[in-house]
Amino acid sequence: MKKKDLKLFIYVFIAVHAVLWQPSKAQVSTFQQGKFIPELSVGGNIGINYAKIDFQKAIQQNNLQQYIGGISVRYISERHFGLQAELNLSQRGWDEADKDSIGHQYARSIRYLEIPLLTHIYFNAGKRARIVFNLGPHLSFLLNEKDLKNNIVIKDLSEGKEIPPYYETGVQRVFDYGIMAGMGLEIRTGVGSFIAEGRYTYGLSDIFSNNKSDYFSKSSNQATCIKLTYLFQLN
């Protein structure tokens, strides 16, 4: 991981927390004026990840369809603004698509315990609908990994070309982090809120070692997610 990526993660993390502390002062006045009541909601989420790894050296890939699901907690501290935290089991990975090597198939699934901490912004789109935005950092911890496809065909292997070492190398970085951004539609009903959201995850760390002597100089998780969330308001 490069220093500029680490700085970006730190800036986003600080910005989210700075904004989170700010509403506490504004909240006093909104309570005094009787115009706003904070919302605390809990629930669950489930969705599909379309995952890739941003490799440098570049590798041709298809989107690898994986799954994500977990627990969601949302606290709206003032009008149009709040915090959303999640604890998810998130599957990522990659699926190679080497058109030059006929019959080559390789895909790996990588499962993480994922903890997003997101700034939540919403705008009313009618009496029971909201347009929602979520932005912030995530921290993830490696749980396990497995090969989904393993039929390695390397072009010109008979001419002395070696099989790249990463096929037999497990994920070397247990800790993963990055930033997330999502947009969705929330429908509020008498039994809770139902949210459909599209979200993009940009990894700032690498799954493999990236020293000069290593095969890859970059190997960061990337994922586009489509998810459904149900939240039940506690207050």
What is the structure's pLDDT at 160?
59
Q: Which residue has the higher pLDDT, 209 or 20?
A: 209
Rounded Cα–Cα distance for residues 230 and 109 (Å): 26
| Averaged pLDDT, 214-226 | 96
Q: Which residue has the higher pLDDT, 135 or 6?
A: 135
Tell me, what CATH number does 139's domain have? 2.40.160.20
β-partners of residue 208 are none
Instruction: Tell me the pTM.
Output: 0.83
DSSP class of 44: E
Q: Percent of the chain scored above 90 by pLDDT?
A: 70
What is the structure's pLDDT at 11?
58
166-195 pLDDT per residue, tens? 999 999 999 999 999 999 999 999 999 999
The range of the structural domain enclosing residue 214 comes to 3-233
Question: Mean pLDDT over all residues of the chain?
Answer: 87
With contact defined as beta carbons under 8 Å apart, do 161 and 155 qualify? yes
Per-residue confidence band for 103, with pLDDT thresholds at 50, 70 and 90 = confident
Please, what sign has the CA dihedral across residues 27, 131, 90, 50?
A: negative
Listed range (83-87, 109-113, 124-128, 181-185) with the worst mean pLDDT:
124-128
Total structural domains in the chain?
1
| Averaged pLDDT, 100-124 | 92
CA separation (Å) from 149 to 91, 95, 96, 152? 16, 8, 9, 9
Helix (H) or strand (E) holding 15: helix 3-21
For 113, residues 6+ apart whose C-beta sits below 8 A from its C-beta are 87, 88, 89, 90, 140, 141, 143
122-164 pLDDT per residue, tens? 999 999 999 999 999 999 999 999 999 988 876 656 555 678 8
